[in-house]
Structure 1
Amino acid sequence: MRTLITALAIGAGALLAMPAQAYDGTKCKAAGNCWEAKPGFPEKIAGTKYDPKHDPKELNKQSESIKAMEERNKKRIEAAKKTGKFEYDVTKLSSN
């Protein structure tokens, strides 16, 4: 019984390890540059049907939100230096 459980555990481990053996890393263009396109996909994405064609407005949303956050933080710090008390809510700062 014990050998059967051991054999089943070894078999299950071998089945789980099979996907890890699929890539052997031998098709590297340079040391550490081993990226390959999946079968059926083009080598370069730009200009193909797989190109996501990102909207510049969508790409700039994060940088705009970071700028707004920095402005709010600047107002908070300036108010804290003047009053000696930190206020998180920026709408309350404009009334002071």
Structure 2
Amino acid sequence: MKILLVAASAALLGLASVGAASAYDGTNCRAPGNCWEPKPGYPDQVAGSKYDPQHDPMELNKQSESISGMEARNAQRVAHFKKTGEFVYDVKKIPAE
């Protein structure tokens, strides 16, 4: 009888914790999975506010410059490989034409 009472109370405790965990998570969801909400005081429009990152165009351009340099080096490697059949990784070691 005592074992049955312990098992029943454990089952009730388990069911109560499942119900409490799925009841409210502190957000107001517009749709299932769409639960983002701004903190109080966060502006509706970020542009022009103190949260606007204002990225420097020169900093943003660094990656595109490095990618174009990489593509130029790869083009030299491929051209040398097509001409000689030998792949040379270091572009400086490719003989000038």
TM-score, length basis structure 2: 0.66
Matched, 1:23 2:28: yes
State the identity as a percent.
Answer: 48
Runs of 4+ that moved beyond 6 A: none
Superposed CA RMSD in Å reads 3.4
Is residue 79–residue 86 contact of structure 1 (8 Å, CA) maintained in 2?
A: yes
CA distance in 2, matches of 1:17, 1:66: 50
Decide which structure has the larger Cα Rg and report it. 2
Counterpart of 1:92 in structure 2 is 93
| Alignment map for 1:51-66 (pairs within 5 Å) | 51-66=52-67
TM-score, length basis structure 1: 0.67
Q: Which runs of 5+ in 1 are unaligned?
A: 27-33
CA distance in 1, matches of 2:72, 2:63: 14
How many residues are paired up?
A: 89
